[in-house]
Amino acid sequence: MPYRAPVKDIRFILDHVVGFAEVAATPRFSEATPDLAEAILTEAGRISTDILAPLNKGADHTPARLENGAVVSSPGFAEGYRAIADGGWVGMAASPAHGGMGLPISLALGVDDMMSGACLALQLKPLLSKGQIEALEHHASDAIKALYLPRLTSGEWSGTMNLTEPQAGSDVGALRTKAVPNGDGTFAISGQKIFITWGDSDLTPNVCHLVLARLPDAAEGTRGISLFMVPKFIPDAHGKLGDRNSLRVVSLEHKLGIHGSPTCVMQFDGAKGWLVGAPHKGMAAMFTMMNNARLSVAAQGVGVAEAALQHALAYAMDRRQGATPVAGQGTIIDHADVRRMLAAMRAEVFAARSIALSCAVAIDMASATGNADWQARAAFLTPIAKAYGTDTACSVAHQGVQIHGGMGFIEETGAAQFLRDARILPIYEGTNGIQAMDLVARKMADGGEAAFRLIDEVERGAEAARSARPDLAGDVWSAAEALREATEALVAMPLNDRFAGAVPYLRAFSLVLGGAAHLKAMQADPGREALARVMIRRLLPEHGALLAQAKEGAAGLYAVGADDLAA
């Protein structure tokens, strides 16, 4: 089935679940009226459905390739990227000072969701540019901003981030790339970076690399890392491209999925670079880009899950197999187990989308008001949104293959592509295990205050719904109270004991937030009760077992020796 952008669902969540009206009521975002939001989401949905989605399958079969040291993109990607860039979609949330629209991240995230569902491999290119734009806005010198931001914002140039090295993955502090002063304010960057998404491109005339490297006097570890802008072609002060820089693509990675997105091994051989931010403070600047990317990857997960669900639903509505136990379509959707899978898929897509958009609203409110509580809420929700959104992508795509049965294992049906494409998302921008550890460590450094505020909010919402639906509201309230008790226990634990239960704790928190989102949706539209019941009565009960794991600590894990694992 052709992909259809879920404009209606995104608009409903913004209006009735996550409080987008509060964002539009701020002076900073007063232009984000209901009419403007509708127009933006509708047009982005049209581009996603009509222009980007038809490219997805072809890019899987005709991947990006390296010819004579240059990347050649998949067929149709040039036209697809031009539709994104020319429409102003790269700079939606960027500052108007450099050509951006200055719109809320909440709306931009809805667009990311739809474009990711349409063609993840292509959407990755503007995603990296958006993150680079935010990093430069916050950390770059005025000269770098003036030169790079207008061209990145328009989509004329594109951006990347270069962190990972063969020996330095999650342990970024182990990187070896060097930056040596040239004596003229620039630096010679030398080293190799791997896993660089869209590290080269024939879709834009220049690719702008943000590269982490060490100055000669740098300390060991992350405190000694600096950040540099290293363009493929060196521009003059007016943006005219000059000499090619001393960098090249060594090879393209052979990947499980997202074949249309070139993942490059990059070699820098004394390439000319410009310092971004203060010396030895590169991680702060890079984390600005990474946090932006983490929420965008959450939206990518939701988008791919949406596409996989639509594909599976179309198959289930058409496929006839065996006698169905109830009168209906006469197809496999009338089998209880298939209906169970589809209902759970839709319930979790709605929950994950709601959590991601709630995080975006918190970011918008923090930037519009400067309020510390909004900032803490956004920070706390970011790892939850990223991990739950991307785990949902994998689980929904997995169930989509299952619904297809044997045909799901056949590439021609298209179900397998969603699973292959989705599998990178829980690894991107810090694995989901790292997200969970961040949640229970850095994000609970306040003694759990941000967590408890969210739990209080869920309980207030459940109390408000109790008179209309006491059963479902009571289940959500009880789950939130169990989450409160587990949070209190985790805050009192040593850090490694928290880490041992971090992943189940994050999923339990996600399910509670998802249940609350469905409860709020049902109050706004009683027609959504059936899906709310699936979420609250079938999926939310997992929280008890998950929280039991979360409180178990680390000792039992370390009691399992290497011999036990090898047996």
Rounded to whole angstroms, the Cα distance separating 232 from 208 reads: 6
Q: Which amino acid is at 543?
A: H
Rounded to whole angstroms, the Cα distance separating 536 from 540 reads: 5
Closest C-alpha to 550, from 386, 440, 432: 440
Burial 290-319, CB ≥16 within 10 A → b, else e: bbbbbbbbbbbbbbbbbbbbbbbbebbeeb
Residue 258: left (phi > 0), alpha (psi -120 to 50), or beta? left
Rounded to whole angstroms, the Cα distance separating 254 from 263 reads: 8
Whose tokens are 């790269």? That residue is: 90
Angle at 462 (CA atoms; ends 461, 468), nearest 5 degrees: 105
Rounded to whole angstroms, the Cα distance separating 32 from 104 reads: 7
Of the residues 134, 306, 348, 429, only one is catalytic, namely 429
Rounded to whole angstroms, the Cα distance separating 232 from 161 reads: 13
Whose tokens are 């297809």? That residue is: 404
Could you count the other beta carbons within 10 Å of the beta carbon of residue 495? 12
And the tokens for 428? 């991107």
And the tokens for 36? 């403007």
The beta-strand segments (E) located in 22-163 are 65-67, 70-72, 158-162
Q: Quote the distance between the C-alpha of residue 545 and its chain's center.
A: 27
Whose tokens are 């680079």? That residue is: 132
Could you count the other beta carbons within 10 Å of the beta carbon of residue 66? 16
Are 464 and 410 a contacting pair, CB within 8 Å? no
Beta bridge partners of 272: 188
Contacts of 350 (CB under 8 A, 6+ apart): 9, 13, 514, 517, 518, 521, 531, 535
Q: Is the dihedral of CA 298, 377, 483, 531 positive or negative?
A: negative
The answer to whether residue 429 is catalytic is yes
Rounded to whole angstroms, the Cα distance separating 118 from 83 reads: 13
Catalytic positions, written as ranges: 429
